[in-house]
Amino acid sequence: MTRRCGVLTHKMLSRGNGPGAYRRSDPAPRSVCAVTVISRNPIIRYFLLTFPTSFKTGFILVLTHREEVHLALNVKCRDNIRKQPVQRLTMTTQEHFRKVDSDMLDEIHVYAGTAGHSAWFSEDQGLTWSHPNSHSGMYLEARVWCFGSHAELHDTLVAGTDEGVFRWSERTARWECISTQIKDVWSIAYDARDPSTLYAGTRPAGLYRSRDGGETWSELTVPGIAKFSEVNMGPTRVTQLLADPLVPDTLWATIEIGGIYRSTDGGSSWCALSNGLNSGDVHGIAVSRTARGERRILATTNRGLHISDDGGETWRFAELESPWQYTRAVVTRTDDPSVVFLANGNGPPGNDGRLLRSLDGGETWERLTLPGSINSTVWCIATHFSNPDLIFVCTNLGQLFRSTNGGDSWTRLPHEFGEIRSLHWRAVPKGTRGALHSLTRAVAPKLVAAT
């Protein structure tokens, strides 16, 4: 949710103790996750006011510059906060916030899923990586196809693997297999409004739903979904499950090779929507906003990007100004769905790739410069609502890149995996972990050039 507000002045900043982290001295609502107050004043840049759901205290930070002035509520918040005008809200923060140590702020946890070397963790924004040992619950040679997390579940991360769905607990620092009924899970998604509802897509292609956090699963009826592809003479697979961020109860599923499916009732019923697709080999899907504010669906395939402006009923091919039309991940900025990131390359795995960005919902694209030589197709893009400017991307053959300014510039990270199939990050409140990790030795940091 984004709403316009007045200009934040330098005098407002001077009433406080200056840039830094502040804690609210009076009780704050637990449900507010992030409020961003952006200023046109180049000295102030912008404030990020957050109330992590695990604390009764909030935080305000001075961050990087943006042109527009707006108040952004990234998750649901109580009416008494939502209805406050920005002037009053800003005054309240200056009156009730005091400086606190940085150890009260959330940690950033990054996760990489590999094709045969299990899941890897980073707690320093990708500089070093460590690997939970087999006795932590997931075997070391696991293929990890996807990750999922929910804003209300700080203790929990889920992963789809060749052996089913695994759940990681920060409290115990252990993995647990929670899908004995289903194996080879390629995609996973939470219901944004209900952390107990979880969806999984498998190979061969099938869709499943759990209403108890993954303890039990039921297969969903999907008319026409194929378990076997006559095109590549192999099993089909669900490459992505997406809970529509703009339309409640709407879900999207992409099948390789099998097209696109949509549900408008939380997964109870599904329909195929492939009219106009150049290929049924669909890799990813995203819901964006056009420059006119209209909802737009973008889908990636082995034969290029496709766009739908009628809710998926029809699709049109959108040719890219790139040597290749092969596209993989497509992801919108978490606080502005008109900003879209697109992974592009010369095939799986390929030997070259590009990262593209659109500022108008997918109408036009610009190439973003990733440092150094790219070894394969750009594959995964990871964003999170807690910091829309922090983005991680990887290539199919294991290169990692990070941006801290919304994609304007990138740093190539030191560790290079063999093959990466999934990438995820989230903010975890400090103090969530209740046990020590059982991890392999971390890779020492050695930064490559930034652009």
More confident residue, 100 or 435: 435
**Bridge partners of residue 113, in order along the sequence:** 119, 422
pLDDT in the model for residue 134? 82
Domains of the chain: residue spans and CATH: 2-104 (no CATH), 107-428 (2.130.10.10)
pLDDT in the model for residue 433? 75
Determine the Cα–Cα distance for residues 231 and 227; give it in Å rounded to an integer.
12
Could you give the percent of the chain with pLDDT greater than 70? 73
pLDDT at 407 over 90: yes
pLDDT in the model for residue 284? 98
- The one-letter code for the residue type at 245 is P
pLDDT tens per residue, range 321-351:
999 999 999 999 999 999 999 999 999 999 9
Please name which of 408, 404, 319 lies closest in space to residue 368, comparing C-alpha atoms. Answer: 408
pLDDT at 58 over 50: no
Helix/strand/coil percentages in the chain, nearest 5: 5, 40, 55
pLDDT at 306 over 90: yes
Mean pLDDT of 58-73: 37
pLDDT in the model for residue 440? 53
Residue with token string 């002037």: 87
Among 61-70, 99-108, 244-253, 418-427, the minimum mean pLDDT is found in: 61-70
> 399 — alpha (psi -120 to 50), left (phi > 0) or beta?
beta
pLDDT in the model for residue 34? 40
The residue count of the chain comes to 451
Mean pLDDT of 143-153: 96
Rg, the chain, Cα only = 22
Query: 33: which 2 tokens?
Result: 């996750």
Element (H, E) at 89: helix 86-96
> 418 — alpha (psi -120 to 50), left (phi > 0) or beta?
alpha
Q: Report the SS3 class of residue 232.
A: coil
Helix intervals (H) in 15-104: 79-82, 86-96
Residue 411: count other Cβ atoms within 10 Å of its Cβ: 20
* CB of 400 closer than 8 Å to CB of 374: no
Determine the Cα–Cα distance for residues 22 and 71; give it in Å rounded to an integer.
18
Task: Give the burial class of 73: count Cβ atoms within 10 A of its Cβ; 0-12 exposed, 13-18 middle, 19 or more buried.
Answer: middle
Return mean pLDDT, the chain. 80
